[in-house]
Amino acid sequence: MNEKEFISFESDYNNGAHPAVLRCLVETNPRPSASYGDDCWSRAAREKIARACDSPRADVFFLVGGTQTNAVVISALLAPYEGVVAVDTAHINVHESGAIEGTGHKVLALPGHNGLMDPDELASLLEAFHADPNRDHMVWPGMVYVTFPTELGTLYTRERLERIHATCRRYSIPLYIDGARLGYGLMASDCDFDLPWLARHCDAFYIGGTKMGALCGEAVVFPQGNAPAHFFTHVKRQGALLAKSRVVGVQFDALFTDGLYFDIARHALDMAARLRRLFVERGYEVTPSTTNQQFVLLTPEQVEHIARHVAFELWERVPGDARNRDLYRFVTSWATTQAHLDALAAALDTMP
């Protein structure tokens, strides 16, 4: 395939950096710097992030990728005998090659509901665990992990997250939010809270960079200055520390200057809403998602035709669908343009 020409809705990491992010990398390149997190851009980015979170005491760390970030944070927050509660469709449970178990901890899976955790089911799990006479022979639920937005493009409401957070506090276990696509969630039309609110309703979260316009990098935030002791060495030990820490620092400095991070989100969400309409107006069935990931049921013939025009991915087989359809994913990002959407529309409109 000619990569120069092709139009891809495969993911939000199938492109380079947002031009403004790239520009900062270029402009700062000639300057020498401290390493291992102590460069001036990382320092500036940490301050800007703390400000954006309205969390002046926040501890902020820059790591490189999402799987790594989850493994480092989760293993730093858990005692050896504890596991992390997550829904079955959670990234850590399915698509991270057992990275959490690789650090010695079990993922305790609850059923997902369109990717979301049910606060009542969480409360029941914790209540049942602590009432179980055999609990000392079991894995202790030591923290809760949710993704925002979820892997299925859905969002926690303020009320749902509050209830999960309250349950965590009742049992004195931390709530950690995987924000690989955080901006796409916060800027979504139906999101009823903002970044400072989120920072007040969890114990740790990360602000995804890779899928939000950076080349790489994720920003871990412990909003109350509550980073585990020697978290730096946790990061180093798990190979997540960049010698040239500026690589991530410069990018987050750019992303959190003049609201770029949120602008990028808004653009992708706008593109996603239009993309969704293309399908809905033509009678295709889509799942509920207000974020930059859209999921459409397609027949093999439809797939074959569309794939001649634009790239996209199979998300999930749907056994027993009457029309033999499966679920496909279309993703937008900073790099998605109206021209891309037009190409998709053209494909749909030439469907045999």
Query: How many CA atoms lie within 13 Å of 270's alpha carbon, on the beta-carbon side?
Result: 11
Determine, following the binding rule CB under 8 A, whether residue 26 of this chain makes contact with its own copies. yes
Which residue matches tokens 């954006």?
Answer: 52
Determine, following the binding rule CB under 8 A, whether residue 6 of this chain makes contact with its own copies. yes
Let me know if 181 is exposed, middle or buried by CB neighbors in 10 A (0-12, 13-18, 19+). buried
Please identify which residue in 247, 264, 272, 341 interacts with its own copies, judged by CB under 8 A: 247
Total site size for its own copies, rule CB under 8 A: 88
Please identify which residue in 246, 267, 276, 329 interacts with its own copies, judged by CB under 8 A: 246
Task: Quote the CA–CA distance of 71 and 240 in Å, as a whole number.
Answer: 10
Map the chain to HEC letters.
CCCCCCCECCCCCCCCCCHHHHHHHHHHCCCCCCCCCCCHHHHHHHHHHHHHCCCCCCEEEEECCHHHHHHHHHHHHCCCCEEEEEECCCHHHHCCCCHHHHCCCCEEEECCECCECCHHHHHHHHHHHHHCCCHHHCCEEEEEEEECCCCCCCCCCHHHHHHHHHHHHHCCCCEEEEECCHHHHHCCCCCCCCHHHHHHCCCEEEEECHHHCCCCCEEEEECCCCCCCCHHHHHHHCCCCCCCCHHHHHHHHHHCCCCHHHHHHHHHHHHHHHHHHHHHHCCCCECCCCCCEEEEEECHHHHHHHCCCCECEEEECCCCCCCCCEEEEEECCCCCCHHHHHHHHHHHHCCC
Determine, following the binding rule CB under 8 A, whether residue 317 of this chain makes contact with its own copies. yes
**Residue range at the interface with its own copies (CB under 8 A); choices 24-32, 158-166, 170-178, 263-271:** 24-32
For residue 347, give both structure tokens: 């494909």
Task: Quote the CA–CA distance of 184 and 261 in Å, as a whole number.
Answer: 10
Determine, following the binding rule CB under 8 A, whether residue 106 of this chain makes contact with its own copies. yes
Please identify which residue in 49, 50, 53, 76 interacts with its own copies, judged by CB under 8 A: 76
Determine, following the binding rule CB under 8 A, whether residue 110 of this chain makes contact with its own copies. no
Please identify which residue in 20, 44, 47, 68 interacts with its own copies, judged by CB under 8 A: 68
Q: Give the nearest distance from C-beta 302 to its own copies in angstroms.
A: 18
Determine, following the binding rule CB under 8 A, whether residue 343 of this chain makes contact with its own copies. no
Please identify which residue in 42, 83, 267, 291 interacts with its own copies, judged by CB under 8 A: 83
Determine, following the binding rule CB under 8 A, whether residue 167 of this chain makes contact with its own copies. no
Residues from 172 through 231 that contact its own copies (CB under 8 A): 210-211, 215-216, 229-230
Q: Give the nearest distance from C-beta 5 to its own copies in angstroms.
A: 9
Determine, following the binding rule CB under 8 A, whether residue 98 of this chain makes contact with its own copies. yes
Determine, following the binding rule CB under 8 A, whether residue 22 of this chain makes contact with its own copies. yes
Which C-beta is closer to its own copies: that of 63 or that of 199? 63
Which C-beta is closer to its own copies: that of 14 or that of 114? 14
Which C-beta is closer to its own copies: that of 226 or that of 233? 233
Determine, following the binding rule CB under 8 A, whether residue 320 of this chain makes contact with its own copies. no
Determine, following the binding rule CB under 8 A, whether residue 99 of this chain makes contact with its own copies. yes
Which C-beta is closer to its own copies: that of 277 or that of 317? 317
**Residue range at the interface with its own copies (CB under 8 A); choices 30-38, 49-57, 170-178, 293-301:** 30-38
Determine, following the binding rule CB under 8 A, whether residue 123 of this chain makes contact with its own copies. no
Determine, following the binding rule CB under 8 A, whether residue 297 of this chain makes contact with its own copies. no
Please identify which residue in 48, 105, 165, 267 interacts with its own copies, judged by CB under 8 A: 105
